[in-house]
Amino acid sequence: MVRILPLTFSNFQPNHFVIRETNKKVFVDQLGFNSIVELINHYALSKEPIFTKDKQVKVVIKTPVERQKWELSHEDVELTKKLGEGAFGEVWKGKLLKVTDGNGQPVPVAVKTAKLEAMNKEQIKEIMREARLMRTLDHINVVKFYGVAAGAEPLYVIMELADGGALDSALAKQHFPMIRKYEMILQAACGLAYIHDKKVPIRWLPVETILSGLYVPQTDVFAFGIMAWEITEDGKEPYPGMKVLEVALQVPKGYRMKFSTETNCWNEKWEDRTSMKDIVKWMKGFVKAHGGDPGPTGVMEKIGKKLKRNSREKQNRTSTMSSSGAVSSPNVSTATAKI
């Protein structure tokens, strides 16, 4: 087994040393050690220089780079149940042993395991780019990123566990009252508005992206409108009856799905679309006025519990939406939803 690690910087350039393992010993030159930790400790404490392969550079290990909070070890994670598998890895339910919940129990997590041998260098870089991006996010309506375990294979990406199941499946089975659906849309809007504030793009299929590859925050507003359509339509697949290529051809020509809710999320010019910040502001008032929960701890924060809401509560609180987009429920006046 061969590992290549950037052990030191000299003259502002990283120097890479090949650490070889032979007969259960690790080497960077002629001296063998029982582990990489033992090897590094020896050269750090003894100040014995290490030479690069071409013998042109002599370096001494001096200052360690401490492990960051998000840089986890495989030993920090216990895998408990396999949830799925793809071409490049698996998804597991697990426990993050070094982080506890309010009851002192290890936090349940979702673990993406990456088969590095099945991935090229760019795909591995993309995983790490995503990890670096997500570690900056901390919001109640954004799935929490705990860290990456990259010290061994397979690579682990550890995320908050969303154990309520797929939203589209739950919508199809539960048939939530319309006000509950608008709560879901609101909480998703809050998360997306936060991500926009952090300058993080999440693209889908707006006109400007299809035609020119342009991304602006309002690009995500187009995708948000599609998600809102899916929620109001009980999880149906968007652009029903159309293939991907057909959608890509027809959307730039002005085709839009029929939406029971008035929206300018799908305006052709991105400048004419509402910002996520304004959508959140308006929807909070709308949901509150109609007896819903405007947050901050609404549907999406505890999606698993909300999706398992029993039938009695659904019967006690119902609301319907007319074809014109009017939402009505007990004790509230009729109003038009607009996103």
Condensed to tens digits (0 to 9), the pLDDT of residues 242-262 reads 999 999 899 989 999 988 666
Q: Assess whether pLDDT exceeds 80 at residue 320.
A: no
pLDDT at 173 over 50: yes
The whole-number average pLDDT for the span 43-70 is: 80
Helix, strand, coil percent values for the chain (each to nearest 5): 35, 25, 40
pLDDT of 263 above 70: yes
pLDDT band, residue 3 (cuts 50/70/90): low
pLDDT band at 202 (very low <50, low <70, confident <90, very high): low
Regarding the domain with residue range 71-160, which homologous superfamily does it belong to in the CATH classification? Phosphorylase Kinase; domain 1 (3.30.200.20)
**Annotated binding-site residue numbers for ATP:** 112
Binding residues: 112
CA distance 36 to 46: 15
**What's the first-to-final CA gap in the chain, in angstroms?**
56
Span 70-76, mean pLDDT?
A: 92
Q: What is the mean pLDDT of the chain?
A: 78
Q: Is the pLDDT of residue 289 over 70?
A: yes
- Where residue 317 falls among pLDDT bands split at 50, 70, 90? very low
Q: Is the pLDDT of residue 265 over 60?
A: yes
Band of pLDDT at residue 158, cut at 50, 70 and 90: very high
- 218-251 burial, b for 16+ CB within 10 Å, e for fewer? bbbbbbbbbbbbbbbbebeebbeebeeeebeeeb
Least reliable range by pLDDT among 18-22, 95-99, 109-113: 18-22
The model's confidence at residue 144, banded by pLDDT at 50, 70 and 90, is very high
Lowest-pLDDT choice from 276-285, 296-305, 313-322, 326-335: 326-335
Q: Note the pLDDT of residue 9.
A: 56
Residues of the chain with CATH 3.30.200.20: 71-160
| Proportion of the chain above pLDDT 70, given as a percent | 76
Query: What pLDDT was estimated at residue 81?
Result: 96
3-state secondary structure (DSSP) of residue 32? strand
Q: Which residue has the higher pLDDT, 323 or 317?
A: 317
What is the three-class DSSP state of 268? Answer: coil
**Banded model confidence at residue 58, pLDDT cuts 50, 70, 90:** confident
CATH 1.10.510.10 maps onto the chain at 167-336
pTM reported for the whole predicted model: 0.69
pLDDT of residue 64: 77
Higher-confidence position of 295 and 311:
295
pLDDT greater than 80 at residue 209: no
Higher-pLDDT residue of 114, 317: 114
Q: What is the pLDDT of residue 10?
A: 58
Topology (CATH) of 167-336 = Transferase(Phosphotransferase); domain 1 (1.10.510)
Q: Which amino acid is at 176?
A: F
Give the integer Cα–Cα distance in Å for 205 and 320. 30
* Contact partners, residue 339, CB within 8 Å, separation at least 6: 185, 189, 225, 228, 261, 262, 263, 265, 274, 279, 282, 283
